[in-house]
Each structure stands twice: as C-alpha cells, then as structure tokens.
Structure 1
Amino acid sequence: MEKRISIIGLNLSVFLFMFGVGLIVPLLPQKIITLTGSLKTVGYLASAFAVPFVLLQFPIGRLSDRYGCRRFLVAGYLICSASGLIYCVSNTQEMIFFGRLLQGIGEAPLWALAPALLSMLYPAAKGKVIGAYNASLHLGLTLGSGFGILMAGVLVKNEPFVLFALSGLLGAFLIFVTVKDPRAEGSGVETALDTGGLKKILAYPGILAVFSGIILYGAGYGISLTVLPGFLIQEKGFTQAQIGGFFTLFYIGISLSQIITGPVSDRHGRTKTMILGLFMITAGLGMFPGRDGWGIYPWLFLASCGLGVFCVSALSWLNNAVADSLKGTISGAFYLFWGIGFFTGPAALGMFGKAARGFTGFHVLAMLFLLQALVQWGLGYGSGKIGLGRKSDFD
C-alpha cells in the first residue's frame, strides 16, 4: 500500500507542477521584453535555467544515494515555488533571471531522482512506473500550455505565476506526506560510490554506448523545440497554428509512447526497445524533410514516439545496471548527458543547417541515430557484472 501511495504522490505532484510550468513558460519572454524593450536578453532565459539544471544533476544524484531521494524532491519543489514568488514581484530583468536560476536548481532533482526512487520501489516493473512518471510530466506540461492559451484573457498580470508557486508548494506537500524512500534517510553512511566504483561503471562499453545515445536523445529533444519549428516555418511555410499542432503531437507522442513502452520493456528487454526507439527516430527525421503540409505530421509524430521509447528504455536500463546505492547517481548522469545533447545539438544543427538549408542537417542527424542503433545492436549486452557487489541484468 505504501508503494502505491508513493507512486500516486510522485505522479500527481509532477503533473500539477508541470501544469504550472506550462502556464508560465510562454509568459517569461514577454515579461523580459516588457522590462528591457529588447529581444536580445530573451535567449538568456534558457541558459539561466539550463546551467544549474545540468551541472547539478550528478552532484544531487550522488547526495541522494547517500541521504535518500525524498528530502531532495521536497527541497526541489520548495525552491521552484520560491522562484514563482520571485517572478511575481520581479520588476527588473535581474530578478527574473534569478528566479529562472532558482527554477533550474529546483527542477534538477524532479527529473532524475523520482525515476531512481521508482526503480527501487518497483524493481520488477521499473519501465512501467518510470514511463508513467515521465508521461505525467509531459502531460502536465502539455495541458498547462493549452490551458494558458485558453485562459489568456482571464489570467492576467501575476496570476499564472501565483499558480505556479502554489503548484510547487503543493508538490512539496504531496511528496512529504505520501512518498517513502526505501533506504534509510539521513544515515550519512558512504555508499558504493567511490572513484573506483564510478570508473568501473563508466568503463563498461554498454553503459558508455547508452550514454552516447542519451546525448543524441537530448539533441533530438532540443532540436524538436528550437531548430525544427524554425525549419517548418521558413522552409515548409507552417503557420503558428500548425506549429502549435506540431508541439501538441510532440508531447503526446513522447507521453503515450512511454506509457506503452515501459511495460513492454519490462517483459521483453530494454535493449530491444532502445534500439526500436532509435530506428523510429531515424525514420521520422529522415523522411519528414521530403514531405509537405499534413504529410509531415506522421513522420514527426513517429520521431517523437521514438524519443519517448528510447528515453524510458535507457533510463530503466541504466537503473537496472547498478545497485540501489547508485540509483540516484546513474539517473543524475542520465540527465547530465541529456543536457549536453540538449544544449549543443540545436546549435550544431543550426550552424550546419544554415549552410545546407536544413534538409541535409536533419538527414545527418537521422544517420547518427541509425549508427547509434547499429552500435547498440552490435554490442548486444548479454549479462554481466560491473563490480559493485551484485549481478546486473543488462537486458
């Protein structure tokens, strides 16, 4: 019963919080423009969030393995709630950037530690529960954005930021009262994570291969939110309404595919579903540039589903490859490598696409995903040990 209450609390808290995120993300650029009268500083909003989010993934994962995940999840929601209050009272761009910095700090544990905790609570069904959690996250973001559009004339001034702050506060409360960490919290005892143990993990070819796929996954995710919409507008003549349709399909594809793939990966093996996801992304990114109008949507939807399939499979695979004492560390490493791809991929493709009118750039990216699939297929990953005290089931 405690496990079921914990998973309900984790999913409900992240759904409500991401609903709040969906409300405010479209408003922050306008708030910056209103204060500065310039578009130049808008781009820094992403950086102010991204830098702490990426840099803190591994340290927070390591600390959670020592002290437990629950307290860091509660702290993350409270920090995000504080950032919402700062947005409410901000009258300078510096205050907005400070709020965005806090939001990046607060969200770091929410993405990584909850999957780590779920994999310990449900070791035999980690794909299913991690997929449901990630789907709840993306569903909240999608519905929050849609609700913000529908209520644009009703929610004025600081009301969305107040709702965002309340969503963080409610998330902290739900985690505090519903979630149980299977490890003893606050013991302060060192875990198996030492320099030698970490080197053994990173020295395993299968894990390195998965991490390279995660970098590509992050690049594909970031490109889908930045370069791809620009390509659709400039090269395919998409309207803003059509771009909105693309984003809706993107989030639905990622959410739905994770819900479906999680249980499948538990039954049939995560390596198979990882490779399937990579092939789906390859097909979607490789085929859509040659299509026009409505013919583009099915291929982009296939690519977004592939991203979701790979995400839940890779995250479950990594959590299955290490002992419980390293769940937080390995999940933090997942989002560290994801962040590397997320913030370098769009810039790289943007520069390449500018020289080749975008078309060749997406085909090159598709070929990289295909190469990644072939590498993982070739490695095979039977079963083995990574020297941390138990056999790891590399499925």
Structure 2
Amino acid sequence: MQPQRRDRAALAGVVFAVLFAQTLLYPGVPQLVASFGLRPNLDAGTWFLAAEFAGFILFAGVWGALSDAAGTRRGFIAAGALGGGLIYGLLAAVPEIPFWSLLLVRFFGGAFTIGAFSLAIATLMDLGGGNGRNMGAAGIAIGLGTGLGAPLGGQLYRLGPRAPLAATALLMALVGLLALRLRETPGTGRETHALEALTTLRAHPSLAVPYAFGFADRFTAGFFALVGVFYFQTRFGLDAGGTGLLLGAFFLPFALLQYPFGVLSDRIGRVGPVALGSFAYGVVIVAVSVTPTALLAAVAMALVGAFGALCAPATLALVNDLAPADARGTATGGFNVLGSLGFLTGVVGGGLLADRFGYGTAFLAAGGAEMLLALALLPALLRLDVERVATFAKGND
C-alpha cells in the first residue's frame, strides 16, 4: 500500500475507533449507570452522556491550539487516545462511586477522546491526494463507527454492564499505540475555534441556514442516544442487546446511504434534500413513538436513518457551497461545533422533556421542531444562491 493511502487508512481508523467506542455504550446506558450504584433513570443517564460531550466541546479547540503550537499532531492523537482508553478502563474497573465523581471522570474522558478524534480529522485535512478523498475517508469512518457501534455494544452488554467499557478501553489503547507510528505532513489543516466560526458566520450570514439544520439534526441524534434507549426498554421490555439492534436500524441506513444521497444532492441541488429530508425526518421521529411493536419501531427507525441520510450530507455540502474558498475549513468547523452543541442539547433537553412530560411529548417536541424548522427556513433556503448550488456538479460531469 502506498504511504499516503496507508496514512489515510490509519487516520480513518482512528476516527472509526472513537465513534465506534462512543456508540458501544449507548444501548445499555440504564444498566451501566445502575452498575455504579445509581438509579437507572433518565436523570442519571442524561448527565452521564452530557458530561462526556461537555469535555468534547470545551477541549476540541484546546487540542487544536496545542498541536498548532507544537507543529505536530501525531503525539497528541496518541495522548488523546491513550488518555481516553485509560479513563474508560478506570470506569470499567472501579466499584460504586459518587455521582459527581463519575461525571468528573466522564468529563475528562471526553476531554481526552476528542483530541484523538478531532486531530485525526485535522491530519486528514493536511494530507495530499485531494481533500474530497480525505474527507470521504473520514465520512466512511464516521458512518461505519456509528453504524456498527450500537448493535455490537448491545451484544457486549449481555456479558455484563461494564463489558463495553472494557472493550472501549482496549480499543482506544490500541489506537493510541498505533498512532505513535503515524506519519504526518505539515499542512494547513487545523482546529476551528468557536469564536472564529462566529466571525465567519457574521461575515457570511447565509451559513446560519445549514448551521441551524445541523444543530437540529444532531439534537435528534442526542435525543435517540438517551431518550430512545430508555423509551425502547420501557415501552417494549427490551434488554441492551435488543435496544442495540433497534438503534442499529437507525444508524446503519444513516451511515450507508449518506454517500449516494450526497451524490444525489450534487445532481439535483441542496434545497430539496435539505428541506424535504428534514421535514420527513421529523415526521418519522414522531411516528417512532406511536408504533405498537418493536418490529414496527425498527421499521420506523430505519426510515429515520434513511431520511437523516438524505438531509445530512446535503446540509454539510451547502456549508461548503456557501462559504468562500478561503473560509471553508472554518465554516465546516463551525458547523461541527454547532452539531456537538446540538447533540449535547438533545441529551439534556430530551431527557428533561421526557422526565417531566413523558415520552410522547418528548418525541413530539423533537420531531415537531425538525418539521417546523424545515418549514420556517424554506424561504431562506430558496433565497440562497440556488442556481449555483443546484448546478454544482454539472460542470464537472
């Protein structure tokens, strides 16, 4: 294998491992928090997931600044993966601990893990051979990591509530050791700070449209990571294994269909996939909450994944269509910052809604918000430079 291809594959492997490890835990969050001596309720699950994402959001820029200052990323990728693996291993081994201690450990786990993930993406941006090819490798890794993690994690829970933690610790430690052998090419890829993203948004306010859709889409992902898990186990009496399969019914089509739907958006334009995809996405989210059986819920979840795959790549492509060439990296970084905030909001907000008003109201709020956003922003979508965006790929056919 050529060195550049090997480097691309190795960096994509880091991205895959982090997403795979993260989603391994989702199907059995109630059982996992119970293993620490906590009540397996929505409140405990909410803060268990939110603590890690708080670390993601607050430390992504820190890792980027450190690697920029040092002029290297390899050592920081290894440090992030090894640190994350150590903390996952600590959680797998410790007995019952106070809730605040658990949240603190989860926060630092997120702070380490995001270093490996975000700097692997930045290093892929540094590689030659075409940024589209490099980001395509990242996209495949993200899709496979999220698509495979939940169903396999559900099966691991059958070995014990801490089994996914142990598997994650071993995987992250292996990634950290292999990262020490990465080659890197000095380049311009770097992490985007939140303030830089806000400055770009102020200079190019049309980016607010895809940013809003990105926030909403990731909100629903966070919603299913927590509320969906508790709902499926409460509504259908599923264990972690069955819950993992239901989550997989969403994640697998979401991962596998993004590339063909992204190509479709190049040919027909972004407006249709973003607006129609988002509205249909909201409809099927609400439909999940009224399905009478687990089998029908799986069908509805597959539709959620399919419509999510229709709008997600078109939304990100719209960011690149609207941003000037010299600000695309920052604009994409801003999109990811808003996406992470959306996921965190979906975990916390979804958990609070379900806890106070019930699952039906929570699903209606999550899906309804997506539908209302699609309707409210349709005029703004149509006012964008639609002709340029819609014919984006025609000159390259």
TM-score (norm 1): 0.74
Aligned pair in 2 of structure 1 residues 250, 133: CA closer, same or farther (>3 Å)? same
Instruction: State the partner residue of 2:136.
Output: 128
Could you say if the C-alpha distance between residues 208 and 266 of structure 1 is closer, same or farther in structure 2, counting changes exceeding 3 Å? same
Task: Quote the residue 1:390 is aligned against.
Answer: none
Q: Which of 350, 353, 356 is equivalent to 1:351?
A: 353
Question: How far does residue 21 in structure 1 lie from its aligned partner after superposition?
Answer: 4.3
Secondary structure of the residue that 1:36 maps to in structure 2? coil
Q: Structure 1 residue 80: deviation in Å?
A: 0.7
Partner of 2:50: 47
- The answer (yes or no) to whether the contact 1:23–1:147 under 8 Å persists in 2 is no
Cα distance change on mapping 1:282 and 1:28 into 2, 3 Å: closer
1:134–1:258 contact (8 Å) kept in structure 2: no
Aligned-residue Cα RMSD (Å) equals: 4.2
Change (3 A) 1:363 1:29: closer
Distance in 2 separating the partners of 1:127 and 1:270: 19
User: Could you tell me which residue of structure 1 aligns to residue 219 of structure 2?
Assistant: 219
Contact 2:258 2:310 in 1 (8 A): yes
- How do residues 194-233 of structure 1 correspond to structure 2 at under 5 angstroms? 199-230=199-230
Structure 1 residue aligned with 2:147: 139
Distance of 2:366 and 2:163 partners within structure 1:
40
Q: Which amino acid aligns with 2:187?
A: R
Shift of 1:174: 3.2
Secondary structure of residue in 1 paired with 2:146: helix
Q: Is the 8 A contact 1:217 1:307 kept in 2?
A: yes
Secondary structure at 2:181 match in 1: helix
8 Å contact kept, 2:276–2:374 = no
1:283 deviates by 4.0
* Residue 76 (str. 1) matches residue 91 (str. 2): no
What letter matches 1:100 in structure 2? R
Q: Write out per-residue CA displacement over residues 236-290 of structure 1, whole angstroms, 9 at most, x where no aligned residue.
A: x433166444212012122112343355556666666544542441342355556
SS of alignment partner, residue 187 of structure 2: coil
Consecutive unaligned residues in structure 2, runs of 5 or more: none
**Aligned residue identity for 2:252:** I
Question: Could you tell me which of 371, 374, 377 is aligned with 1:367?
Answer: 371
Q: Percent identity?
A: 19
1:99-135 per-position Cα deviation (integer Å, ceiling 9, x unaligned): 3222211222444444444455432446633421211
Task: Label 1:208 to 1:33 Cα distance change in 2 as closer, same or farther (>3 A).
Answer: same
| Distance in 2, Cα, partners of 1:296 & 1:41 | 25
Would the alpha carbon gap of residues 323 and 85 (structure 1) be closer, same or farther in structure 2, given more than 3 Å must change?
farther
Change (3 A) 1:362 1:125: same
User: Does the Cα contact within 8 Å between 2:277 and 2:311 map onto a contact in 1?
Assistant: yes
Give the Cα–Cα distance (whole angstroms) in 1 for the partners of residues 269 and 86 of structure 2: 41
Alignment of 1:159-170 (within 5 A): 161-170=165-174
Deviation string, structure 1 residues 343-387 (Cα, Å, up to 9, x no partner): 334554553882894274355224234226615532334699xxx
Residue 237 of structure 2 aligns with which residue? 239
**8 A Cα contact 2:280 2:307, kept in partner:** yes
Cα distance in 2 between the residues matched to 1:300 and 1:345: 17
Shift in CA distance, 106/194, structure 1 to aligned 2, threshold 3 Å = closer
Deviations 1:316-367 (A, max 9, x none): 554673657873x545433331232223345545538828942743552242
Specify the alignment match of 1:284 in structure 2.
284
Q: Are the structure 2 counterparts of residues 304 and 195 from structure 1 closer, same or farther at C-alpha, using a change threshold of 3 Å?
A: closer
Q: Separation in 2 of the partners of 1:160 and 1:228?
A: 19
After TM superposition, list the pairs within 5 Å mapping 1:95-114 onto structure 2: 96-114=102-120
Distance 1:6 1:276, change over 3 A: farther
Q: CA deviation at 1:77?
A: 0.9
One-letter code of the match for 2:307?
A: G
* Cα distance in structure 1, aligned partners of 2:230 and 2:237: 11
Give the letter for the 2:199 counterpart: K
